[in-house]
Structure 1
């Protein structure tokens, strides 16, 4: 049987791959595992969701699963993923369950689990939950069955937390925020306004069906047009569960996660918050980020692709900033997972503090052209390790020297080998990537 948990929880087509039965079983098993680990008290779980229609169904199933295993449920309703993680810690809960498929289309959904303190569950605990999915023994009865409570003003508690950790007023900043008709449709505009910004909110009217539909962090064109139309200083784009943040400057140019991290790293270095003057990013971050950080005296640690690996490195090294090019940015002093709203507030605070435009701040880093080619293969591990492929990568790396980079790796989810090349020009990056892709394709 394939592992149920992927790199970011359980995800699939709602009511087909991810059914109420699976949601109930996962929740019940999670509660049982928690109870086995600590019998000193009755487990308490925070349950939240994004606004997609299937979330209503899955929330009911998750709640039933948890209470059937004797856990009490604190239901917080529609909230961003980082809000649920924060509330697990703030409310002293043992578990958090977020029902969301993030930036995926509306028909998909997912279940993310958080441990006590709001941290992602370790692989070992996820494996234990999977092993006990079919266990039905020892269900509580009577007063042993879990109870359900709705948390009053859960969103307000999260926004208050964000405001407390925003270092200065955003007065003078005009921002357009694209809420992706998702979980941050109320919280993001509210937080930015209360922090002092002049806010124009778009795609902030979720109806259960329109989440991520031509909007949000995967569709920046509408945001770009709105920024220009309203004469805004910047635009902020969130995804469906608001754990990521991308931006657009006043001229309409995209500011990606790497550039956002560069701006925040310098701000935190100036304020003394950047632990060991170190930033954590994945191997997919642009070479331009490496160059910029080196020039600014900031060390850059790289991890495998996926925010869980960034989180692991941040925790093991005690570092204070990390993230991904896709806009997942983590500030461990204030959040246990990627928080798009916290990221946006910090970015705008730097603009307000310095009086500099986002374009000027982001110019600390020059993005090198980056080309990614996905090659479908029959055995991704064997192909990626082939001698002919290794030789071709070495040759291309030597050709590019210090002005470029080659990254070739098997996909974590599909039978694909991903070939990524960066160079000083798009033409060089593209020709090198396609040449390597041909070598990969020729391996049998």
Structure 2
């Protein structure tokens, strides 16, 4: 029955262009649905937002919906996403709501929902919200039971203190932090300074137009950060996305840390059982095996990683994109805590460039092809039917998330639709650069042939 209900949630919340895909009517309906879901009268929601120009408008719309169903609201103001998850847990809220489009451009906005444990809503919970919105089955209250609004900014200092208590950093490293003019602009530099680091900042003045760089922390967008790290002799650089639930690192040589190698490094130092996604490199498995740990793989998306962490009682989980979860702190992805963890490792074990060079390299390619959302289902049906026969020496076919083809030599390719943008994503790993390039070309040829 729920298969007939339109999807609102992607791999990381509801997200789209303001005015067309994300309308104020939709936002108000989501607010009413969220309040209805948690029980309405007597319940409370914590709400934060990033720096986007549409955020206060969206906040007002979602609060209007929440109040209509009798739920109280605690406004946190402009804060990073991980602080919303933390606040939901610490303030005993029934739901956490973050208004953000994460790494998407300025014209986008969206909503992420968190449960009282600071964990992203599961797929089943998201489908329930979608069902309430679709059926308009809101539990509205009469005028005398409308919810109340309070502000709470003091939770920020508690969050920073708890972050610092979660790591053992003596201090002294020079760190350049680039916050993308996003929600981490205040908190991240302050936390790093409190940890004893000498901090230089880039793009750390909040601005929803993202004038310094686009909020996606990709190599193309971080050229300035890489130059500054090298020019100033910094020990490393840290870059966040728009809402600071992600972190990527620049090593001491001014080079962007390989996503998979960085995940493998941190995973091996934390140890135990860790969770990662189907698109992560084999180097994660190799490093965990050497350290006596175990790897569990799941679908792409921090929601799936969080569910798997709980299910198998893992010590850590993360995606190669830099979205990492630290379950001993909070079940919300936290780019600021991830930065502290990397700093702690560099302080204890040596330069980041040296640590990453010790991890085996397998040429990895991440590519994407533009594809309208309405085309994705048809294209992926074709991929499932035809891709396994398109490659030679296929050893395994996995449908856990999209289609992943593994070859006998250990190379693999994953084709899946983006859950947040109008793309078909291609992720692959080859035993040599030539093999990786060949797989990429063949995969693009296959998808473009369908399109």
- Give the equivalent residue in structure 1 for 2:266: 264
Residues 1:25 and 2:29 are matched in the alignment: yes
Q: Does the aligned pair in 1 maintain the 2:394–2:408 contact within 8 Å?
A: no
Q: Which residue of structure 2 lines up, in the alignment, with residue 272 of structure 1?
A: none
Query: Which one of the candidate residues 278, 291, 294 is aligned to 1:296?
Result: 291
Q: What TM-score does the superposition give when structure 2 sets the normalisation length?
A: 0.88
Residues 189-208 of structure 1 aligned to structure 2 (within 5 Å)? 189-208=189-208
Counterpart secondary structure, 1:325 = coil
1:23-422 equivalent positions in 2, closer than 5 A: 23-35=27-39, 42-133=42-133, 134-135=136-137, 138-142=140-144, 144-169=145-170, 171-210=171-210, 213-214=213-214, 217-218=217-218, 219-269=221-271, 277-354=272-349, 356-372=350-366, 374=368, 379-386=378-385, 388-395=386-393, 404-413=410-419, 418-422=425-429
CA distance in structure 1 between the aligned counterparts of 2:214 and 2:129, rounded to whole angstroms: 36
The alignment's TM-score, normalised by the length of structure 1, stands at 0.89
Give the match for residue 434 of structure 1.
441
Partner SS state of residue 409, structure 1: strand
Contact 2:169 2:196 in 1 (8 A): no
| 8 Å contact from structure 2 (residues 246, 322) kept in 1 | yes
Instruction: Output the CA distance in 2 between the equivalents of 1:84 and 1:400.
Output: 39
Deviation at 1:212? Answer: 7.1
Deviations 1:134-183, CA, capped at 9 Å, x for gaps: 245642322x11111110323212111211112232x1210000011000
Structure 2 runs not aligned, ≥5 long? 397-404
RMSD over aligned CA atoms reads 2.5
Q: 1:221 to 1:47 in 2, by over 3 A?
A: same
Deviation at 1:415, TM superposition (A): 8.7
**Secondary structure at 1:247's aligned position in 2?**
strand
User: What is the CA–CA distance in structure 1 between the aligned matches of 2:215 and 2:367, rounded to whole Å?
Assistant: 25
Q: Which structure 1 residue ranges, 5 or more long, are not aligned?
A: 270-276
Q: Please state how far the C-alpha of 1:373 moved relative to its aligned partner.
A: 5.0
Evaluate the alpha carbon distance shift between residue 237 and residue 419 of structure 1 in structure 2; reply closer, same or farther with a 3 A threshold: closer
State whether residues 384 and 408 of structure 1, in contact with CA within 8 Å, keep that contact through their aligned partners in structure 2.
Answer: no
Question: Aligned in 2, Cα 1:393/1:90: closer, same or farther, shift over 3 Å?
Answer: same
Question: Deviation at 1:408?
Answer: 3.5
Aligned residue pair count? 429
Report the more deviating stretch, 206-215 or 175-184. 206-215
CA contact (8 A) 1:279 1:301 kept: yes
String of CA shifts for 1:309-331, please: whole Å, max 9, x gaps: 11111110000111111101111
Residues of 2 paired with 1:149 and 1:389: CA distance?
54
Partners of 1:263 and 1:408 in 2: CA distance = 23
| Alpha carbons 1:177, 1:235 under 8 Å: kept | yes
The answer to whether the Cα contact below 8 Å between 1:396 and 1:432 also exists between their aligned partners in 2 is no
Q: Partners of 2:427 and 2:128 in 1: how far apart?
A: 36
1:334 Cα deviation after fit: 0.8
Name the SS for the 1:116 alignment partner: coil
CA contact 1:26–1:65 (8 Å) conserved in 2: yes
**Greater alpha carbon shift after TM alignment, 340-349 vs 253-262:** 253-262
